[in-house]
Structure 1
Amino acid sequence: MNATRTARLASYAVVGAPALMALYGGIRLVPGSRQPGPGWTAGHTAMFLGLLLFVPVLLALRGLLAPRATTAGRLAANAALGTAFAGLTASLAQIGIDLYVGLVSATKEEQSRLFGRIQDVPGVLPAVYQVGPLLFYVGLLALLVAASVGAGRTLRWWSPVLMLVGTLASAADLAFIPLAAACYLGALAPLTRPATAGRHPALV
């Protein structure tokens, strides 16, 4: 994929990822959407697709750092990218499990029992529900901070601040997911500018 297509995909993803997150957050506020049924499936499908769209976003953020990075800086940026991808994988696994449980369960009680059996498997709870997904936000925030500090900064200071505010809001209460999505959109919006998004996300 060439630089122009990569930049265009990142620009679409910057809007699409938060929009799908907001859709999930809105659906889960609808009565009945937190139990097996169309609301559960539609909401979690939207969230799964939204998370997938963070792949080009992460690569675009890493690409912003490549032109001005020292060897140590490249190593740190790659570490942040790897951390974000590890957390993103855990988050996708969590939503995938949620989708599966919702599809195979007929009632809320069956859903709860199946969740219990899955989460009782050693390692699943910390890796997929407790610790693993946090790595996505840690890595994403680190990339945003790196791209917004120093003489060669390509993002403004408010990008990591908005990302942090959105993350803390959704962590405090999942009802704030639409607010978090708006914060993420604001934080990542500079990537839609041609001068910013056009940088090739080289991992060198």
Structure 2
Amino acid sequence: MTTTAQRSLLFGPLLFGAYGVIRLLDGLDGIRGPGLAWTTGHLCFLVGLFFFAQGFAAMRKAAGSDLWSSAGCWAGGAGVVALAVQFSVDITTGLMADSHTEMAGLTRAFQSVPGVAFAFYLVGPLLFFVGQLLLTGRLAALRTLAPWAPVLVLAAALLTFAFMDLIPLGAVLLLLACSPLWRTGASLAAAVSSSRPRA
């Protein structure tokens, strides 16, 4: 496994967790955004999405680029795009607005465009976790990851959607789920090697 792939599987969840922590701090006064904390937190996750996309591609390759891993990679990638749009809008409205009320109004105006709320706020975030679930499930079936890896991903998804204040915990669960891959890369390297056709 390349160092780049290892970094992606580590930095993606770490930046997701950083966003969650900054989000908690930003909400201590009862109002989230606009301001430095709002922008910084969203930028953390926006950069993290780049690493998640790299990680999805690496996990697909480790699984032999079969049907299930390819579906997981494409679903996760679609989720990355949707979340990138959502967080870019949040950053933009935060920079444009002078108050939380004004920022919320700008966001609602964007969400009122037909199809936007469905694609970028409902389905997109779901696909982000569905993709991870398919990828970790396939790698668990190949014994590259532990059997409980997809369970941790599912728990992270449920916690994140039910209680956004638990995003840091969800990030920890994602880190644990893929820890054999980012710690040494040995498992992923072996999986990639075994998935290559033999002469």
Q: TM-score, normalised by structure 1?
A: 0.87
Deviation at residue 135 of structure 1 after TM alignment: 0.8
Residues in 2 aligned to 1:143 and 1:129: alpha-carbon distance in whole angstroms: 22
Counterpart of 1:48 in structure 2 is 46
Secondary structure of the 2:34 match is: coil
Q: How does 1:34-183 map to 2 (within 5 A)?
A: 34-66=32-64, 74-149=66-141, 152-183=142-173
**How far does residue 77 in structure 1 lie from its aligned partner after superposition?**
2.4
Contact 2:39–2:91 (CA<8 Å) still a contact in 1?
A: yes
Q: Secondary structure at the match of 1:121?
A: coil
Query: In 2, Cα distance between the equivalents of 1:143 and 1:37?
Result: 36
Change (3 A) 1:122 1:38: same
Please give the alpha-carbon distance, in whole angstroms, between the structure 1 residues aligned to 2:18 and 2:71: 31
Of 1, 20, 27, 2:22 maps to: 27
Residue aligning to 1:17 = 12
The answer (yes or no) to whether the contact 1:10–1:197 under 8 Å persists in 2 is: no
- Decide whether aligned partners of structure 1 residues 194 and 108 sit closer, same or farther in structure 2, where only a CA change above 3 A counts: closer
Identity %: 35
- In 2, distance between residues paired with 1:54 and 1:95? 15
Distance 2:67 2:156 in 1: 27
Question: Do the aligned residues in 2 keep the contact of 1:36 with 1:103 (CA within 8 Å)?
Answer: yes
How far apart are residue 200 of structure 1 and its match?
Answer: 4.9
User: What is the rounded CA distance, in whole Å, between the counterparts of 2:4 and 2:71 in structure 1?
Assistant: 23
Say if 1:162 and 1:76 are closer, same or farther in 2 by CA, change over 3 A. Answer: closer
Supply the RMSD in Å over aligned alpha carbons.
2.1
- Alpha-carbon distance in 1 for matches of 2:188, 2:144: 10
Aligned: 1:191 with 2:181: yes
- The 2-side partners of 1:98 and 1:186 are apart by 29
Cα distance 1:166–1:203, how it changes in 2: closer, same or farther (>3 A)?
Answer: farther
Please tell me the residue identity of whatever aligns with 1:86.
A
Any idea what SS the aligned residue of 2:154 has?
Answer: helix
Q: How many residues align?
A: 191
Q: Residue 20 of structure 1 aligns to a residue in which SS?
A: helix
Q: CA deviation at 1:80?
A: 2.1
Q: Which runs of 5+ in 1 are unaligned?
A: none
Q: How big is the shift at 1:203?
A: 11
Contact preservation (8 Å) 1:166, 1:179: yes
SS in 2 for 1:29: helix
Q: Relative contact order, CA 8 A, sep 6+: which one is greater?
A: 1
Offset, 1:112: 1.4
